[in-house]
Amino acid sequence: MFVVCLALAPEATAQSSTGTISGYVLSDGQPVYLANVYLAENKAGSATDSTGYFRLINVKAGTYTLRSSATGFTPFSRKVTVTASGKVSLQIRLQPDVTKLNDVVVTGTLKPVSRAESPVPVEVYTPKYFQKNPSPSLFESIGMVNGVRPQLNCNVCNTGDIHINGMEGAYTMILIDGMPIVSALSTVYGLSGIPMSMVERIEVVKGPGSSLYGSEAMGGLVNVITKNPLNAPIISADVFGTTWGELNVDAAMKLKAGNASGLFGLSYFNYQQPKDNNGDGFTDLTIQHRISLFNKWAFRRKENRQASIAARYVYEDRWGGDMRWNKTWRGSDSIYGESIYTKRIELIGMYQLPVKEKIMLQYSYNRHEQNSYYGRNPFMATQHVGFAQLYWDKQLGKKHNLLTGASYRYTWYDDNTPGTLSEDGKVNIPAKTPLPGVFVQDEWSFAEKHKFLLGYRYDHDKNHGSIHSPRIAYKWTPDVNNTLRASFGTGFRVVNLFTEDHAALTGSRQVVITEALKPEKSYNGNLNYVLKIPMDNAFINLDATGFYSYFTNKINGDFDQDPNKIIYDNLRGHAVSQGVSLNMDATFAFPLKVLGGLTYMDVYQVDENEAGIPQKSRQVFAPEWAGTFTISYSLPAGFGIDLTGNWNGPMRLPIQPKDFRPEYSPWFLLANAQVTKKFAKGWEVYGGVKNLLNYVPKYALIRPFDPFDKYVNDPVNNPNGYTFDTEYNYAPLQGIRGFLGVRYNLYK
């Protein structure tokens, strides 16, 4: 739906003079840059500036057909009457055209396809969406997506992972340009180093993806699509700081060399002001110093064949702990601190073979080094992951589109834990994990409004043997306003225990593995319904999904049996993740845009106790209810207001026996407000308040005065036998804070 708001000035008496037409072109409350606005009768026109403003002067009195168009939007047309010496002020609101390139997705089927035509539901988020609540990393920004929760796993070093529909981070695969870059060891610290300056869009698939992507895709995927240098701004920059002393810089520059276009990006984050507002003697936010360099090149080739290569380097120094800690105490047992040095190199490439058929080669490599101390306990680890994939995309007649290929992933991993020791514990043996696989997929458009997707993947693991992962998806589109999708698939996960669970790395608990762990298996089903409701003064889009996952051999980390241990074992029963999510997107005739999301989750496991009796327990860190909202309103003169937030219902937390802290968190809301002012020539200034309601958890650490458990056996001062623990975490410890920033984009 397209809306134009007109305000006509009274007619002037001098009929021989001319009038003007001016206003703004917007989409989703944001200005549309370089949109064409013209009169069909005389072709007089103008292009919008970076604020979306345009102005047509010397327009003779009369009635005209006003038209506006922009790449990626459906053209707009409306009759406008201009009186002599009159001024017409208007606001044009363009709606994105889902058939255009900017709504192409690749994650659901591995190849570019219109989002509306994809048989697998894919959610797409652009940097403009995340700019409504600016954050220094992807890890924090992704919390604006309904059903996706960035979970902090440690109150001291602030490590975390991404949960989808209540499932732990090990079940979420993080891709960069479709490559499994962030996985295993880097799930702990690699997420914070992805700069938003390199992001074109983020695609989220909730549900099974193992038939295309293999292990770690049991719960869902987050695919970070980097910018194409051919379409990127010449220069872009985004700098902001907070009243807590955080400084974040994102900058990028476009390069040109012959038939290649490049994009060089820099991301820098610095926070060096320890705070202890909750008075427990420990830092509320980890001290961090991080730099990330990114370079991508795209090449022009004959017949528009694709070729690109990208590299990224990340270095981070972070620590959290006792406010008195400094680097001289690193690894000591006097003053507690958790100190982590991270070095990371990534290489990503794509090359379309110079043959008649469409055959694509994708490859990636990453090296991750971690030098860390958790109190007095060192954790030193190095990981190399190489990945290559070759696939053939072939249209067979009018009804079938075939995708088939093979992949090979090789992981080399070494650390100083029992995870890489020989069975007798005397020799260090780095883990070497080859994982070859083949896959095939067919999209079958067997009728005009119906489409099937059939997929199968076969992997062979040296320890677990053959692994089969089939899936099926169906899409029915009875009309342009209704779409129904259904999918079913299986998933598997080869366990890399010490590299996935940060609780297993901290010095606060001992890790116990009761037996040789078996690979996990899951059975997943999704039902998705999209309803578009065009109205005279509004456009509403509803997206509802029901999901169900059933797990066997689930790896269970038992925090409850012994407060000093995490006991890992295959579940002697089953686990379930089920629920319903609803997303709503509403655009109104006046400049208001509302997005809201609601998710209900029932995530639990059934395990046998020592007597063989099944016992049901809720998954930790999986709230039964959760939701997000974004409210945007555009004001005259380039001003805009954004109100964002996410809320969570009670979630089960890891507690100790006789713990005075509640087992379930309370309901809480993290709300943010922002005001943006857009100027000419690509400049904008923004500022606002984060955690507007100043919500901070009441409890965090237990026994922070004895982090090395030196006096834990004192029956007088510690009658309940509490031990130092860092895992009781459900919300950030940062309270209300202000932020101020500036952005700049130069396209010509």
Q: Where does the pLDDT of residue 13 fall: very low under 50, low under 70, confident under 90, or very high at 90 and above?
A: very low
pLDDT > 50? residue 4 = no
pLDDT > 70? residue 110 = no
What is the model's pLDDT at position 190?
A: 58
Residue 559: which residues within 8 A CB-CB, separation 6 or more? 503, 509, 566, 620, 654, 727
Answer yes or no: are the C-beta atoms of 472 and 455 closer than 8 Å.
yes
Question: Out of 8-17, 229-238, 393-402, which region has the weakest mean confidence (pLDDT)?
Answer: 8-17
DSSP H helices in 396-535: 497-500
Question: Out of 196-205, 212-221, 253-262, 665-674, which region has the weakest mean confidence (pLDDT)?
Answer: 212-221
pLDDT digits (tens, 9 = 90+) for 14-71: 344 788 899 888 876 667 877 889 898 887 888 887 677 898 888 888 889 998 888 6
- Please report, rounded to a whole number, the percentage of residues in the chain having pLDDT higher than 70: 86
pLDDT digits (tens, 9 = 90+) for 421-438: 777 778 888 988 898 999
pLDDT digits (tens, 9 = 90+) for 290-313: 999 999 999 988 888 889 999 999
pLDDT digits (tens, 9 = 90+) for 594-652: 999 999 999 998 988 777 788 898 999 999 999 999 999 989 888 999 999 999 999 99
Domain ends where: 201, 224, 247? 224
Question: Out of 448-462, 485-499, 652-666, which region has the weakest mean confidence (pLDDT)?
Answer: 485-499
Domain holding 559, by residue range, is: 225-746
Answer yes or no: are the C-beta atoms of 388 and 362 closer than 8 Å.
yes
The values of phi and psi at residue 495, to 5°, are -80, 130
205 and 247 within one domain: no
What mean pLDDT comes out for the span 497-509? 48
Determine the Cα–Cα distance for residues 678 and 598; give it in Å rounded to an integer. 32
188 and 42 within one domain: no
Alpha carbon of residue 630 to chain centroid: 16
What is the model's pLDDT at position 214?
A: 64
Helix (H, G, I), strand (E, B) or coil at 142: helix
Q: Where does the pLDDT of residue 502 fall: very low under 50, low under 70, confident under 90, or very high at 90 and above?
A: very low
Q: Where does the pLDDT of residue 8 fall: very low under 50, low under 70, confident under 90, or very high at 90 and above?
A: very low
Residue 567 identity (one-letter amino acid): I
What is the model's pLDDT at position 739?
A: 98
164 and 58 within one domain: no
Residue 357 in tokens: 């058929």
What mean pLDDT comes out for the span 254-280? 93
Answer yes or no: are the C-beta atoms of 148 and 204 closer than 8 Å.
yes
Range from 409-413, 512-516, 584-588, 692-696 that averages highest in pLDDT? 692-696
pLDDT > 70? residue 495 = no
Q: In 10 A of CB 6, how many CB atoms?
A: 14
What is the full DSSP assignment across 225-259?
EEPPTTTS-SEEEEEEEETTS-EEEEEEEEEEETT
Q: Where does the pLDDT of residue 556 fall: very low under 50, low under 70, confident under 90, or very high at 90 and above?
A: low
564 and 670 within one domain: yes
188 and 278 within one domain: no
Q: Where does the pLDDT of residue 725 fall: very low under 50, low under 70, confident under 90, or very high at 90 and above?
A: confident
Domain ends where: 171, 190, 224? 224
What is the model's pLDDT at position 545?
A: 94
114 and 246 within one domain: no
261 and 174 within one domain: no
What is the CATH classification number for the domain harbouring 184?
A: 2.170.130.10
pLDDT > 90? residue 517 = no
Looking at per-residue pLDDT, the higher value among 382 and 83 belongs to 382
Total count of residues recorded for the chain: 748
Residue with tokens 């969570």: 648
What is the model's pLDDT at position 425?
A: 73
Q: In 10 A of CB 503, how many CB atoms?
A: 18
678 and 530 within one domain: yes
192 and 83 within one domain: no
What is the model's pLDDT at position 609?
A: 77
Task: Domain count for the chain, please give it.
Answer: 3
- For residues 410-438, one letter each, b for 16 or more C-beta atoms within 10 angstroms of the residue's C-beta and e for the rest, the string is ebebbbebebbeeeeeeeeeebebebebe
What is the model's pLDDT at position 199?
A: 85
The sign of the CA dihedral 692, 694, 699, 701 is positive
Looking at per-residue pLDDT, the higher value among 708 and 681 belongs to 708
Question: Out of 160-164, 383-387, 665-669, 691-695, which region has the weakest mean confidence (pLDDT)?
Answer: 160-164
Residue 220 identity (one-letter amino acid): G
What is the CATH classification number for the domain harbouring 284?
A: 2.40.170.20
Question: Out of 198-202, 342-346, 660-664, 733-737, which region has the weakest mean confidence (pLDDT)?
Answer: 198-202
Determine the Cα–Cα distance for residues 565 and 513; give it in Å rounded to an integer. 10
Domain ends where: 93, 126, 150? 93
Residue 140: which residues within 8 A CB-CB, separation 6 or more? 150
Determine the Cα–Cα distance for residues 480 and 469; give it in Å rounded to an integer. 33
pLDDT > 60? residue 176 = yes
What mean pLDDT comes out for the span 94-107? 56
What is the model's pLDDT at position 97?
A: 56
Answer yes or no: are the C-beta atoms of 370 and 417 closer than 8 Å.
no
312 and 237 within one domain: yes
Determine the Cα–Cα distance for residues 125 and 134; give it in Å rounded to an integer. 14
235 and 206 within one domain: no
pLDDT digits (tens, 9 = 90+) for 392-427: 999 998 899 999 999 999 989 888 877 677 777 788
What mean pLDDT comes out for the span 105-125? 74
What is the model's pLDDT at position 627?
A: 96
Gyration radius of the chain over CA positions: 27
538 and 464 within one domain: yes
pTM: 0.82
